[in-house]
Chain A
């Protein structure tokens, strides 16, 4: 099989078992990823907090428009956009870089080379995002959804990305592992997909704009595919790694993994058009988008079965392991978000729900309940490994989990109900009348609809405050683990409660 690398453990102790050699090798790989991963994760947490502040500001403005109304820089259009860009390009991309790297290095059994260059790339990325968000707040937004950052920020991002992408591929290329694990497929594919999406979208919309509705088509192709062909594969890669890793059992079925991966690769790319249903786009393009959105049920069900069958018999472990709890929450949300997304492509349903709060609720199941929760889980696992320290406080982890989990559930339920109500009154007043939501079947004045959605908008702010509490708990724990110098003698993992045998003991 494999030839053990001459590593720290073998050079010190020739009697060490293979398992220990493997682990010492992992230790060296972890050590090589330490500084880039730490920098990326630290920036990610910083952006998470900044994004959360902008999220709260925009959420409050939805039901109390006078809130901070005197500041040009914090008008709704800018604050909401700054929120989106801070959490997507700041938090999510930084976190996914770190997780993708760390997983890639470990799974390829390859030490990260010249990690200093990666730190340079990470600095570029964060300077680019800072510049971009400054531009948005200053009023330079391009006003193209998901591509709002002004022209002077985007080339920096692309440069940074090129370095990061190349490094992950080099790491893979130098890998010693004979088998390519499913997480690696997803990461590798995502590393190619993202620059393709981003460069095509920037060129066709911002640099040399295409004519007319082609722009709208490219915009939604990009915005939807960033979720499906970048965040989804990275999130799934993490789930595919941490689920079996924490449980210590193999993934249920290799065949299902293959099927899930390729069906995602084939169908996702088409699905973005469902945002343009009823829009000025040829009917066949819309129909193809809808058909592909339905077909997305296949990879989702396949992945769900694969994960569920891996978990079966180990649900007890959720009581103990923070990583597992976040990851499983994320995996379940992935299934829900995707099935909901497919249903939202149905023409008559899209007419009601699109352009309402319902869509906002949906995107938060995807980006928050799935992706962000999976990243939280991954960070809880990675940090102790690269720092060789344990999380200082299990209570803070617990606060983090419950505040964010309950918060996002309130968020989604509130906005889904409010969004459907809004959509029925706004787009289908006759149906709203039949359902008893309004006394006549006349069109309802817009402001009356806004007033009726206010309770749901308030529920979103409540959920936002809860999630903020969770993020603060997380940030405190994160800063604390970095600055704490003392290493507890037993080196026991920080778990929710004392387990019988969790994340503990080899083989």
Chain B
């Protein structure tokens, strides 16, 4: 604190500024280091090299993944010169898609497809699942309510609609996937259901606002 004026300092006495209050006011400032300045050390050479490399690498990256600078390209690996020749629509496995969708159904029908005795009918081995497409698609689209016999056992419940008007409102494709899945899992061996078939039935039963009953479905076949 060598430079802090003490009351013995001749400068202070001369100026009559020995008033303690003024000294106090200045004390905090007097002990401060001077306002900051900048040094002028040159930039290290390695830094220049590093920046050059960064610019080079980042430019390569941008050029490589530019996607033709097109507003229509969303996949960075898209290459317009190869597009067309390699154009290939990925094949969708309906069973795998259906398995994913079935997580919703498994809440009642269980992941094993066995249902819950007396409450939710089994899907494994069920004549409704393996039987008529017309009936199965309708159940899925609009739901099923009231008494129904499955594999010789009686059930009386409510299955919600997964089609128009229901909370799920699945597309034709999704209905087809999940039905194909339940028709080919747990030992079931019925034929695949196509999205076109679902569409056809959806149009036929357009306007239906309430779930089917088993008798109505029996009449359709």
* Chain A contacts to B: CB under 8 angstroms: 9, 12-16, 19-20, 22-24, 26-27, 30, 106-107, 181-183, 240-241, 243-248, 250-257, 259, 280-284, 286-288, 290-292, 294-295, 297-298, 301-302, 305, 309, 347, 384-385, 388, 443, 487, 491, 493, 503-507
Cross-chain contact B32 with A294 (CB below 8 angstroms): no
Determine if B29 is an interface residue (Cβ-Cβ < 8 Å).
yes
Cross-chain contact A506 with B32 (CB below 8 angstroms): yes
Cross-chain contact A245 with B31 (CB below 8 angstroms): no
Q: List 22 A-B contacts (CB under 8 A).
A: A9-B26, A12-B17, A23-B32, A181-B36, A181-B38, A244-B37, A246-B33, A251-B37, A252-B41, A253-B43, A257-B38, A282-B67, A283-B65, A284-B67, A287-B66, A290-B61, A297-B54, A493-B28, A505-B31, A506-B31, A506-B32, A506-B34
Q: Which residues on A sit within 8 Å (CB–CB) of B31?
A: 491, 493, 503-506
Cross-chain contact A294 with B58 (CB below 8 angstroms): yes
Q: Which of B22, B40, B74 contacts A282 (CB 8 A)?
A: B74
Of the candidate stretches B1-9, B119-127, B177-185, B206-214, the one touching chain A is B1-9
Q: A-B pairs with the 8 shortest C-beta distances?
A: A283-B67, A248-B33, A244-B36, A13-B15, A287-B65, A254-B38, A23-B29, A253-B41
Cross-chain contact B58 with A283 (CB below 8 angstroms): no
Cross-chain contact B3 with A12 (CB below 8 angstroms): no
- Residues of B53-92 contacting chain A, CB below 8 A: 54-55, 57-59, 61-62, 65-76, 78
Determine if B107 is an interface residue (Cβ-Cβ < 8 Å).
no
For the complex with contacts A283-B73, A493-B31, 9 further pairs of A-B residues with Cβ separation under 8 Å are A245-B35, A251-B36, A253-B38, A253-B42, A254-B39, A282-B70, A305-B44, A491-B28, A503-B31
Cross-chain contact B28 with A388 (CB below 8 angstroms): yes
- Rounded to whole angstroms, the CA-CA distance of A282 and B68 in the bound complex is 10
Q: Which residues on B sit within 8 Å (CB–CB) of A240?
A: 36
Q: Which residues on A sit within 8 Å (CB–CB) of B28?
A: 384-385, 388, 491, 493
Q: Which of B1, B44, B55, B78 contacts A505 (CB 8 A)?
A: B1
Of A23, A106, A286, A292, chain B has the most CB atoms within 10 Å of the CB of: A23
- Rounded to whole angstroms, the CA-CA distance of A388 and B26 in the bound complex is 9
Cross-chain contact A254 with B76 (CB below 8 angstroms): no
Q: Which residues on A sit within 8 Å (CB–CB) of B41?
A: 252-253, 255-256, 309
Q: Which of A254, A281, A302 contacts B40 (CB 8 A)?
A: A254
Q: Which residue of A is nearest B38, CB measured?
A: A254
Q: Which of A107, A248, A295, A297 contacts B34 (CB 8 A)?
A: A248
**Least Cβ–Cβ distance between A134 and chain B, in angstroms:** 35
Q: Which residue of A is nearest B3, CB measured?
A: A506
- Rounded to whole angstroms, the CA-CA distance of A23 and B65 in the bound complex is 56
Give the bracket for the number of chain B residues in contact with chain A. 35 or more
Cross-chain contact A245 with B33 (CB below 8 angstroms): yes
- Rounded to whole angstroms, the CA-CA distance of A325 and B157 in the bound complex is 69
Main secondary structure of the interface of A (DSSP, over half): helix
- Rounded to whole angstroms, the CA-CA distance of A491 and B57 in the bound complex is 55
Q: Which residue of A is nearest B69, CB measured?
A: A284
Cross-chain contact B73 with A106 (CB below 8 angstroms): no
- Rounded to whole angstroms, the CA-CA distance of A286 and B3 in the bound complex is 59
Q: Which of A294, A305, A506 contacts B30 (CB 8 A)?
A: A506
- Rounded to whole angstroms, the CA-CA distance of A167 and B62 in the bound complex is 41
Determine if B24 is an interface residue (Cβ-Cβ < 8 Å).
yes
Known contacts A282-B70, A503-B31; A291 and B3 CB within 8 A of each other:
no
Determine if B189 is an interface residue (Cβ-Cβ < 8 Å).
no
Q: Which residue of A is nearest B103, CB measured?
A: A445
- Rounded to whole angstroms, the CA-CA distance of A24 and B26 in the bound complex is 7
- Rounded to whole angstroms, the CA-CA distance of A244 and B43 in the bound complex is 19
- Rounded to whole angstroms, the CA-CA distance of A215 and B145 in the bound complex is 45
**Least Cβ–Cβ distance between B65 and chain A, in angstroms:** 4
Q: Which residue of A is nearest B55, CB measured?
A: A295
**Least Cβ–Cβ distance between A200 and chain B, in angstroms:** 20
- Rounded to whole angstroms, the CA-CA distance of A291 and B27 in the bound complex is 51
Cross-chain contact A287 with B38 (CB below 8 angstroms): no
Cross-chain contact A280 with B74 (CB below 8 angstroms): yes
Cross-chain contact B67 with A288 (CB below 8 angstroms): no
Determine if B220 is an interface residue (Cβ-Cβ < 8 Å).
no
- Rounded to whole angstroms, the CA-CA distance of A377 and B41 in the bound complex is 27
Q: Which residues on B sit within 8 Å (CB–CB) of A292?
A: 58
Q: Which residues on B sit within 8 Å (CB–CB) of A298?
A: 50-51, 54
Determine if B11 is an interface residue (Cβ-Cβ < 8 Å).
yes
**Least Cβ–Cβ distance between B111 and chain A, in angstroms:** 11
Cross-chain contact B37 with A284 (CB below 8 angstroms): no
Cross-chain contact B38 with A23 (CB below 8 angstroms): no
Known contacts A20-B30, A254-B39, A504-B31; A287 and B76 CB within 8 A of each other:
yes
Cross-chain contact B57 with A27 (CB below 8 angstroms): no
Determine if B25 is an interface residue (Cβ-Cβ < 8 Å).
yes
**Least Cβ–Cβ distance between A179 and chain B, in angstroms:** 8
Cross-chain contact B11 with A283 (CB below 8 angstroms): no
Q: Which residue of B is nearest A13, CB measured?
A: B15
Cross-chain contact A283 with B66 (CB below 8 angstroms): yes
Cross-chain contact B14 with A507 (CB below 8 angstroms): no
Q: Which residues on A sit within 8 Å (CB–CB) of B50?
A: 298, 301
Q: Which residue of A is nearest B67, CB measured?
A: A283
Determine if B219 is an interface residue (Cβ-Cβ < 8 Å).
no
Kindly supply a per-residue 1/0 record for chain B positions 197-220, scoring 1 wherever the CB is within 8 Å of any chain A CB and 0 otherwise: 000000000000000000000000
Cross-chain contact B43 with A388 (CB below 8 angstroms): no
- Rounded to whole angstroms, the CA-CA distance of A67 and B73 in the bound complex is 46
Cross-chain contact B38 with A282 (CB below 8 angstroms): no
**Least Cβ–Cβ distance between B69 and chain A, in angstroms:** 5
Determine if B45 is an interface residue (Cβ-Cβ < 8 Å).
no
Q: Which of B22, B58, B67 contacts A295 (CB 8 A)?
A: B58
Q: Which residues on A sit within 8 Å (CB–CB) of B38?
A: 181-182, 250-251, 253-254, 257
- Rounded to whole angstroms, the CA-CA distance of A24 and B27 in the bound complex is 10
Cross-chain contact B39 with A252 (CB below 8 angstroms): yes
Q: Which residues on A sit within 8 Å (CB–CB) of B71?
A: 282
- Rounded to whole angstroms, the CA-CA distance of A425 and B40 in the bound complex is 51
